[in-house]
Amino acid sequence: LSPAERRAVLEAVRPLASQRVGQPVKFMVERLNVDGDWALLTGQLVSTTGGTLDWAKASECHIELDKLLWVLLSRQAGRWTVKHLEVCATEPPHWTPEQFGGLVWPCGVYAGLQSATGEDLQAACLDQRAKSSPPR
């Protein structure tokens, strides 16, 4: 992923993430997987100075619980668009891919991610695709 592409993904997320937590944000990126026109970003939100956000301003977040950033984006006409955004997930949404209809995105989006039971999601996606492909 080029620095320009990484910046484009983050800039697509920033306004919506800032709005959801009621303050300007920076990202601590844990993982940014891109496969074709899909991207998955995980990490944390921090203040623009790099410190802890004032979570009291984020009405949808429970102050005491973990605050995982989890974002799914798609690229349309060369621009990244947020499809799903969690700003204070207590568990990674990819732990239960069934809530999104299963492993429906390109398999590279799942690189390095595991389900709640420890299953390698990229391997499971590739296996699922191989089983659903007609034999040659």
* 70-89 confidence digits (pLDDT tens): 999 999 999 999 999 999 98
From the CB of residue 74, how many other CB atoms can be counted at a distance below 10 Å? 15
Torsion of Cα atoms, 26 then 30 then 35 then 37, to 10°: -20
Q: Looking at residue 115, what is its pLDDT?
A: 92
Over residues 25-72, the pLDDT tens digits come to 999 999 999 999 999 999 999 999 999 999 999 988 888 888 899 999
Round to whole Å and give the CA distance between 96 and 4.
31
